[in-house]
Structure 1
């Protein structure tokens, strides 16, 4: 494994009104407004009284400069007092109990640690993923470096941080793995990996698949399912498993100290599907975890597959696992009921708030409220197509330009990362099903595909159909009493061709 390129972002200095060394008052603010949540989908108030999630987050501007090989790096935060980061003592009882391994305490999505010298501070990471004290106003922690006291749940300031490199070295120092995760093989039945005479528990299960990367894990953690891994990444990310590989020529084992996952699994999904509902968000992440691992429980091959999927999303490249990289490919095919006396064929819609199972995608109108309110004033099929095309585009799909044909609205679209093509007929419903009377079937009306969606889209559908790469979908709006308005997509087997 080659060491990472060492770059240190130079953060814009804060103004005197918002110094980095300010006491964390975020807990005071949260407690002063108990109706506001702080979960994965941070929301803001909407005029309708529902929570309106922000679609974009603001990132600080950074300048990246190279560090020359002979430079000595000294942490300027050594002169800053930790007292400036202390949490008010009266708020400490509101934190969770310390984690049995790391000592980290949580409140909502924030993490805190108790100091050896006394006091409790907000914990964060700097641009190089080092632990530091963090002010409540910061996105990137800039306070004093912190470390856990060995054999204790308490933390302390790192006393000396000079890193001097030899002038003839062109590589930065690599981060060493310093977790005390060794176990006594006499007292564990788990599969172990031995590195430098230290025995580590590995991420595995009885039917685990082969993988070029092995993952060691905290001995305090049981086998990982989605909920455990998601909670670990959210609250104690430094306790997540670490990769280990064999390095030639002697095939000795080395541990990669870098974090395999930079954020919770749901946060990766939110980055690339920004307008799905919170229920859909978790359903996608859970389904993706279970498909990648071929089980509700993780193995090394599954964790590596998830990392590959997220990398393909971030780099807009073909995914080695396309069937797990797009939630539309993960949807089950819903059955269509047969026509009966006095009733047309129909597809029953699963409830939009069903958790734990990905059987439909839902998009929250409060995330695109202006477009939604404008759509509600129009009944034109052409405007319906434009509204749905814009929604798909904002969530990462490439839609072939819809034509101006005013009947049987449908869209044809793709997504970077795989070569499947989607054909989606559009519907508006006020009941929990999609009715499919014969007069609404374009094939019954003898309507040519080119007329319905245009020549370019029709060719894409025909080519994909010939290659067995076409996916048939139905989507649209569901507006009914007692259920939040939603834009849905389901998968069916009613082929247009």
Structure 2
């Protein structure tokens, strides 16, 4: 038998230029065989056989990414508006242009029509400049926009007219710092020091920096004093004293709904700020945070997404007047509005429910008797009337699929399902409708108060609801349990006993000269 060949490859000798040429060969530096008990499991040894120590593992190779500078576009090149245009089929869903600003709205968003053609979503950048905005971003980063003087149209701000120091078309910072540019390479890390709690609070809270001080000697306005600065406050009455007051710009008059809505929509940073007394010295302190995050109509739109634009403004206006007990704002009213919006957001009980639910804000419309027979009728207010809330209208363009199906059916059961779906999408809880095919009606409630709504359903093609005697379930002898179901009937009877029942009429109004609408009004024709 031939001797066993040595198959181990000979390691090449390192040249003097290799990193291993100057290797330390002292006994302490040389690798040694591991000894038992040093953390390496030993294989069992056989008699007469020596166990060789495993060869030393080569040093691990670490792969580090070489930072490179990403290529960015030149900030001097204007950004195209092509990616910001709204689809033409969606433009028809926007409101009419505002008479002053030309701004059009859809729900909580604002749009403008450009003089060069097309419509874009409008937003503000971090410096409160108007820009075209993508629907996927919170802070607008598109081209700067401005309104064309004397027109409802807007235009792109010419590239050369952008003021010095503001970026005409902000470009995202795509550069990745190289090793030389990284903060760690510029300066060594310092040990982190722990700031005191008071210092952390001081550094984390923004300060009130508005230059709203004024000289009260030349004004009859109420004011508060912080240090040596006097601030004009939103007027209040002795009967509505409230621990929170609001400072305002000295150039602003008293706030009615239209003024406050315009400020919140166009210059939100100019809205009043709340101020409270801080014990034990009872000195005044101004909260620099914005009391309102959006226009008043935007809060309403979030909760009632399918009402018409006219109804939206009428609800917000009526809510403003109820909360302030006046057509002008005071401190208690502004705080009440903030509480209402907070209760909407968190679905919690709120101030008086008449301030939060528009169905409770509706006036009771009179029922007129006919000079001939026992027929009666309720005249419908004009759906386009602004300034007063006499009816709620829902825009079929916001629920087109359901509306188109509704137009094809005359089934009372389908009618109930259609209206139940609309109420549910706008925050109401509808008790399961019955399958009874006559005298369609619904019973429903809303989270936040204990009132119960009973609504009979009608279709009309004239500006009134006709109520002949044969359409009255009481006259026809129809039991409430058969009409709306036993569960709903019990809720109605209990609410009637507690004086918590609200009688409504609702349905479709389709007639020439006005847009199709789904309406709700309040009447006093009790079912019980």
Q: Deviations over 1:17-65 (max 9, x none)?
A: 9999995666997799999754232599xxxxxx9x9xxx997599xxx
Q: Deviations over 1:264-313 (max 9, x none)?
A: 00000000000000000000000100111111100011101111110000
Residue of structure 1 equivalent to 2:47: none
**TM-score (normalised: structure 1):** 0.73
Shift of 1:339: 3.0
2:104 corresponds to 1:39: yes
Q: In structure 2, do the counterparts of structure 1 residues 29 and 168 end up closer, same or farther at CA, with 3 Å as the change threshold?
A: closer
Shift of 1:95: 6.4
Partner Cα distance (1:337, 1:371) in 2: 33
Partner Cα distance (2:262, 2:312) in 1: 15
Partner SS state of residue 348, structure 2: coil
Partner SS state of residue 443, structure 1: helix
2:374/2:469 contact within 8 Å kept: no
Aligned pairs for 1:399-478 within 5 A: 399-478=430-509
Q: Which stretches of structure 1, 4 residues or longer, exceed 3 Å deviation after superposition? A: 15-38, 57-62, 84-87, 118-122, 164-172, 205-208
1:268/1:310 contact within 8 Å kept: yes
2:516 corresponds to 1:485: yes
1:208/1:299 contact within 8 Å kept: no
Q: State which of 370, 380, 383 in structure 2 corresponds to 1:339.
A: 370
2:248/2:272 contact within 8 Å kept: yes
Partner Cα distance (1:412, 1:19) in 2: 62
2:147/2:154 contact within 8 Å kept: no
Q: State which of 167, 176, 183 in structure 1 corresponds to 2:195.
A: 167
1:332/1:359 contact within 8 Å kept: yes
1:92/1:120 contact within 8 Å kept: no
Residue of structure 2 equivalent to 1:150: none
Partner SS state of residue 505, structure 2: strand
Partner Cα distance (2:488, 2:507) in 1: 19
Q: In structure 2, do the counterparts of structure 1 residues 186 and 305 end up closer, same or farther at CA, with 3 Å as the change threshold?
A: same
Residue of structure 2 equivalent to 1:273: 304
2:244 corresponds to 1:213: yes
Partner SS state of residue 392, structure 1: helix
2:345 corresponds to 1:314: yes
Give the superposed CA RMSD.
Answer: 3.8
Residue of structure 2 equivalent to 1:378: 409
Residue of structure 1 equivalent to 2:257: 226
Residue of structure 2 equivalent to 1:253: 284
2:208 corresponds to 1:177: yes
Partner Cα distance (1:199, 1:441) in 2: 65
Q: In structure 2, do the counterparts of structure 1 residues 339 and 413 end up closer, same or farther at CA, with 3 Å as the change threshold?
A: same
Partner Cα distance (1:470, 1:261) in 2: 33
Residue of structure 2 equivalent to 1:101: none
Shift of 1:209: 1.8
Structure 1 unaligned blocks of 5 or more:
1-14, 45-50, 63-83, 98-105, 123-133, 144-163
Residue of structure 2 equivalent to 1:94: 148
Q: In structure 2, do the counterparts of structure 1 residues 359 and 32 end up closer, same or farther at CA, with 3 Å as the change threshold?
A: closer
2:221/2:233 contact within 8 Å kept: yes
Q: Deviations over 1:78-136 (max 9, x none)?
A: xxxxxx9773xxx6572699xxxxxxxx969x9xxx976366869xxxxxxxxxxx78x
2:232/2:247 contact within 8 Å kept: yes
Residue of structure 1 equivalent to 2:385: 354
Partner SS state of residue 222, structure 1: coil
Partner Cα distance (1:257, 1:275) in 2: 34
**TM-score (normalised: structure 2):** 0.69
Aligned pairs for 1:149-160 within 5 A: none
2:297/2:313 contact within 8 Å kept: yes
Q: Deviations over 1:129-177 (max 9, x none)?
A: xxxxx78xx9xxx99xxxxxxxxxxxxxxxxxxxx98434364611110
Q: In structure 2, do the counterparts of structure 1 residues 207 and 485 end up closer, same or farther at CA, with 3 Å as the change threshold?
A: farther
Q: In structure 2, do the counterparts of structure 1 residues 96 and 240 end up closer, same or farther at CA, with 3 Å as the change threshold?
A: farther
Q: State which of 396, 420, 426 in structure 2 corresponds to 1:365.
A: 396
Shift of 1:321: 2.2
Shift of 1:470: 0.7
| Structure with a larger share of its residues in strand | 1
Partner Cα distance (2:399, 2:73) in 1: 32
Partner Cα distance (1:429, 1:225) in 2: 36
